[in-house]
Chains A and B, each alone.
Chain A
Amino acid sequence: MTHDEGGRSMKKHSGMGTGSASILVIFVLLCLTTFATLSLISARADRSLSRRAAQSLSSYYDADCRAVDLMAHLADALGSVDAAAGRERYFTQCAQRALEQFNTLQADEAGGGLVLRYQIDIDDRRALSVGLRVLFPARPGDPRVEVISWRTIQTGEWIADETIPLWQGD
């Protein structure tokens, strides 16, 4: 108990005063709401990323299936080329046959042999690039082509982000 100048007594209160409970609750609720919103936003971003990855993978395997189909058709088409006329003539005929039937192909001579290349679009920024070497069949049942490359390449234009000033070393 203390006394002020007028002699009135003032009681010192201990413990929580009026309003402190409200302040505490508001603080706790603000924290709770913030964390709940952040976790929801993060989970949605993860889901979106997973869906895009799934879409990308499906696109890749669609392109892969088309590339395999084209390769099988190509192997069939080359299977009817006569190998009896000699190695050089065989490769010339193979190139002609392949280019006649599949206008998207590119035929290159490499090391005395023939390499066929084609691309299948995966999406607007990627393509599947396939390279096949045409083999000269020693016997009738031998394989006519072998895969020498099967890879994803970037086809979209790459735009450099120059918005951030970087140290150039000076």
Chain B
Amino acid sequence: MTIKKNILMEVTMKIKKLLSYLSLVFVAVLVLVGCGQSSGGGETASSTDSGSSDSSSQEVNEESQDENVADLSFDELVEAADGSTVSFYGWGGDEALNQWLDNVYAPALKEKYNITLDRVPMDIEDVLNQLSNEKQAGETEGPIDMIWINGENFATARDNDFLYGPFTEQLPNFQDYVDEEDPEIKYDFGYPIEGYEAPYGKAQFVLIGDKEKMDQAPANAQEFLEYAQANPGQVTYPALPDFTGSAFVRNIIYEFVDPAEFQDMEADKEVVREAIAPAFDYLRDLNPHLWNEGQTFPQDQPQLNNMFMDGELALTMTYGAFDAAIGIENGEYPESAQTFIFDNGTIGNTNFIGIANNSTNKAGAMVAINEMLSPEMQLSKYEELRTIPVLDNDALDEDQQAAFDAVDPGPGTLPQDLLLENRLPEMPAHLVPIIEELWLEEVVGQTNE
């Protein structure tokens, strides 16, 4: 009996404590919200009143600073950037790239321009979120300078005015070595670039098969289906919206629909649904022969890659055109791994570096981006990371051309010119999320039966 009483008392005590605690929290939140509101109110009041001079003069300052940067010659930019620190925000999942940035690119910047590189690994969604939050808070001096970006994220950043520009015209290496008439330099997933980002590297979607399990690489979607039928459970692709899985599906769509049809397509779900119907029909036909019978898909590209390395699958896929060589050299892929593409070609895209609109070191960012476009850096990136260079081969002198030609992409890869000859354009950025949504609705776990 006494025990029970004790427990009862304990419980009532607990409830009381809980209640007082909750009310405390509640009051605190009220105070906080109240503060937020009153300070917000104060802000609007002051800006409508005479106090507006403060914020507007700050704006003018900011603008004139931007104009200054835009007016500077490259030498003046170098001078302004001397001794500064530039932050570089971007996806940090590629360890080889991280090391190259830290061990090759950063020392070069330090030596040539006395610029310190602060590499910050962050997913692009989070970068955009941070920029949006900073904009909401009226922050004109953000920590983000350079951003690794492309595709629909570039479109979002431009639509919301997160990026600074145009700036590429001021970069000597851009003018000397980049082909400005190349559609891939003019448009990013169909979105006009207009000088708001500079090319960083070229990617091309490729498939990597294990020759032991795949004597003849499928040359098109039909042969791919036949292989899957003959070898059930041996192939699959990452679940959308994974970047690579999404590219695979777009490649399949291009097997059925002319890429040109999408370039001006309205970003309307029903329009897209109708246009890609034959491809989704195909994907549903493919489903029963995939790994796990198309009921589930690997969550992302790394998981697919792991399953390929474990021998659970005969196929992996990647945007890194020469990844097979790196995989074989590291001993992660079987010696029999071989890159292949469809006869119709595969999607290639360029990724870029942009500058945040509220960056405090735009001059430093521009100098650093210029360095990234130098033949030395692009060559080093090609040699060490096997990234397809973004420079115009015709603009290079003979020695430079020879140096680029001398790079051997390594075992299991396709030669660079073959890839570039069979390169398909990306779809307009706004269509991509629609396709990803439709895939979840109409493909996963479904068949045409």
A and B bind: no
Q: Interface of A with B (CB < 8 Å)?
A: none
